[in-house]
Amino acid sequence: MVTRKEKREQEKDKNYFFEFLKIQKHFFKDFTGKLKRVEDRRHQSYVTYDCDILLFMVILKNACSLESMRDMTDSFNKEECIKNLYDFLGIETLEELPHYDTINNFLSNLNPDELHHVRTYMVKELLKKRCFDSYRMNGKYWGIIIDGTGLFTFQEKHCEHCLKRVYKDKEGNVEKTVYMHHVLEAKLVVGDMVFSIDSEFIENESEDVPKQDCELNAFYRLSERLKATYKRLIGDSLYACENVFTRCDEYKWKYLLHFKEGRIKTVMNEFQELMKIQATSLSPDVLWVNGIAYNHRQVNVLENTVENEKESKEKKQFTFITNIKVMKKNAQHLANAGRSRWKVENEGFNTQKNIRYYIEHANSRDYNAMKNHYLLTQITDILMQLYENGSKVLKDIKKKIKTISSNLLEAIRSRFLTDEDIKKLDKPIQVRFIH
């Protein structure tokens, strides 16, 4: 147990902004170069600030847990902050940071594909790192979670791409209509870290479409990009249905799907019948049946019963459907993978919504800028998870998420990066993660 005095000694003279930059440089040497080289659609004769400073400011806003763009402009308006950002990015000629209106104008014209490419660069760099190999499923597959969440809600129509939900009373009369923007996320799971690797916005092409967009349609679009970008996957999602099975077969993907009650009743009924006579058991809490026929394929069903965290006397049941053959040597691992990933994903969305990033706060009224703000949050989240789990000083001194962000903001605003610090950023460091 570290005492308060020992913590003070460990933190003495620590520049948390420098520590954050060390992690970013270690994993992504060309990160700021990628930001600088995004396609800039602005009229160049009016451009004062390059893309890297505009994008990096939003990333730092997110990392410092600043809720609004106005908060960012106010909080970063200090000489120390201006000098730190300009020194790190190698900017010499400007004396002020861009105003949030300038940044939002830039984001409203930026093609979101540019930020998709930056994130893909980051993920591929991570996959090259040997330190993550032990997190592969069965020693070779990377684990991917696919799940959707709501972002923004409006009482009036925001744009032609809005989804809408109509609420009616008992007589069928319309009480109110809510307009929404949702997103489907694909996230890479490495231990307790969950990195966004792709995002598909669930949106209507126009306001007069006969049928609204949905998570399942977004999954088909998302899966096409995932197949083109990443080769080996194992998915954990909510889409146990024929079209998803077909897509996974076509792409030669392994899947581990949460098998919700009411999904594919024929398979569930056969599983329950076969459990009585031929289920294989690792323990009373882990049982499975392989080779259940469904259409032209065979699937395997795994059931795991665990103590309910909220009700200690009750147990909760998790059922998964998979095309991975379940055996005694991998049954518990599959069960743990399915449960922990579901839990981590929900906690991940909660962190992004309520604890650090406030992704439900619309930083702009422009829909394209809203998308880019969301993608910059996912990029920030990769950096912050690596920082929190890889920085030695943060591992030695356990801190809450909010404290980590506030310490980072304080360092940016009150500590100068020295020329020696800038030189040290190019030197290799050792980063170890606890498995």
Contact indicator for 196, 382 with CB cutoff of 8 Å: yes
Q: What is the mean pLDDT of residues 60-82?
A: 95
CB atoms within 10 A of CB 380: 21
Q: Decide if pLDDT at 307 tops 70.
A: yes
Q: What is the CA radius of gyration of the chain?
A: 24
pLDDT band at 35 (very low <50, low <70, confident <90, very high): very high
Q: What is the mean pLDDT of residues 408-426?
A: 93
| Least confident residue range of 201-205, 304-308, 321-325, 342-346 | 342-346
Give me the pLDDT at residue 351, please.
Answer: 84
Q: Is 233 strand, coil or helix?
A: strand
d(CA 229, CA 142): 13
Sign of CA dihedral 342, 343, 344, 349: positive
Beta strand extents in 46-192 (DSSP E only): 142-154, 163-168, 174-190
* 215-269 tens-digit pLDDT: 889 999 999 999 998 876 666 555 678 888 999 999 888 888 888 777 788 999 9
| Least confident residue range of 58-62, 88-92, 210-214, 336-340 | 336-340
**57: its two tokens:** 């400011």
d(CA 203, CA 371): 11
**315: its two tokens:** 């147990």
pLDDT band at 80 (very low <50, low <70, confident <90, very high): very high
* 269-302 tens-digit pLDDT: 999 888 888 888 888 889 999 999 998 999 999 9
Give me the pLDDT at residue 344, please.
Answer: 60
d(CA 120, CA 133): 18
